[in-house]
């Protein structure tokens, strides 16, 4: 991806905004909500301001991971890029700023909070099949969404244990999974090439989407 293409993606995703708007974005307080029917599943729709989203997207694209169209995923273990470490610190800061059980206390005390990173790039029509994250990773998984919104579906890991639950992941949102949500529910994104995802009766226009997933490896 060349510089002009990157600039076009940034403008399409975030438009043009002034410094005053950036300042207003940073002063907006994040609001956490528990996803009903699934214990341990929390969503922060406005986790990242438009300005922070733009900065994060630029940092990711500047890594050069997705220069070739055939590459749509990058993984890092141990020492993470500085922007990923800063993102982890921002997650911790946001969780600790509210008097809500967003993550168990023992997870908030671990060092580091996350040490494994996956960045996925989804083109229109691309998604991910239903799965529970591997047990080589500890409890507590964070997913930040950028660019295009999408619907993530949660389904019980054991059939017949409950109904599916859909969650809208808007650009700049953060979803956290721990406990039952992490181990007892599968999650997936089904973005069919023909047709659209639908949320509350409205079709979601499919565009490029980038997700950042942070996890903690179990001790070897």
- pLDDT, tens only, 67-101: 999 999 999 999 999 999 999 999 999 999 999 99
- pLDDT, tens only, 28-52: 678 999 999 999 999 999 999 999 9
Structure tokens belonging to residue 144: 């930040």
CA distances from 165 to 157, 159, 172 (A): 12, 14, 21
The pLDDT assigned to 20 comes to 45
Answer for the pair 132, 185: CB distance below 8 angstroms, yes or no. Answer: yes
**Residue 5 or 191, more confident:** 191
Beta strands of 88-161 (E only): which ranges?
116-122, 128-131, 141-147, 150-156
Half-sphere exposure of 120 (CA within 13 A, CB side): 15
The pLDDT assigned to 98 comes to 95
The whole model's pTM is what? 0.88
Name the band, by pLDDT with cuts 50, 70 and 90, for residue 9.
low
Residue ranges per structural domain of the chain? 30-215
The pLDDT assigned to 30 comes to 84
Share the mean pLDDT of the chain: 89
The pLDDT assigned to 187 comes to 98
| Cross-sheet strand order for the sheet of 116-122 | 32-34, 41-44, 174-177, 141-147, 209-215, 116-122, 73-77
Name the band, by pLDDT with cuts 50, 70 and 90, for residue 161.
confident
The pLDDT assigned to 29 comes to 79
φ, ψ for residue 31, nearest 5 deg:
-120, 125
Q: Considering only CA atoms, which of 84, 48, 58, 37 is closest in space to residue 170?
A: 48
User: If DSSP codes are grouped into helix, strand and coil, which group holds residue 120?
Assistant: strand
CATH homologous superfamily for the domain 30-215:
Alpha-ketoglutarate-dependent dioxygenase AlkB-like (2.60.120.590)
Please check the confidence at residue 160 and state whether its pLDDT lies above 80. yes
Please check the confidence at residue 60 and state whether its pLDDT lies above 50. yes
Q: Considering only CA atoms, which of 65, 111, 96, 122 is closest in space to residue 176?
A: 96
């Amino acid at each position: 991806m060349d510089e002009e293409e990157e600039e076009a993606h940034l403008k399409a995703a975030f438009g043009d905004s002034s410094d005053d708007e950036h300042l207003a974005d940073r002063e907006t307080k994040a609001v956490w909500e528990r996803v009903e029917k699934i214990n341990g599943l929390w969503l922060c729709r406005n986790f990242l301001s438009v300005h922070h989203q733009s900065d994060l997207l630029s940092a990711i694209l500047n890594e050069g991971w997705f220069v070739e169209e055939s590459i749509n995923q990058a993984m890092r273990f141990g020492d993470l890029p500085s922007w990923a470490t800063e993102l982890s610190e921002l997650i911790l800061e946001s969780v600790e700023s509210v008097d809500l059980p967003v993550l168990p206390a023992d997870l908030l005390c671990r060092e580091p909070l996350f040490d494994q990173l996956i960045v996925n790039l989804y083109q229109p029509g691309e998604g991910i099949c239903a799965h529970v994250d591997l047990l080589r990773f500890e409890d507590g998984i964070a997913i930040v969404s950028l660019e295009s919104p999408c619907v993530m579906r949660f389904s019980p890991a054991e059939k017949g244990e409950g109904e599916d639950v859909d969650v809208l992941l808007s650009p700049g949102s953060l979803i956290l999974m721990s406990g039952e949500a992490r181990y007892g529910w599968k999650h997936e994104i089904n973005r069919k090439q023909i047709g659209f995802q639908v949320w509350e009766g409205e079709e979601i226009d499919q565009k490029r989407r980038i997700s950042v997933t942070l996890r903690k490896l179990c001790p070897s």
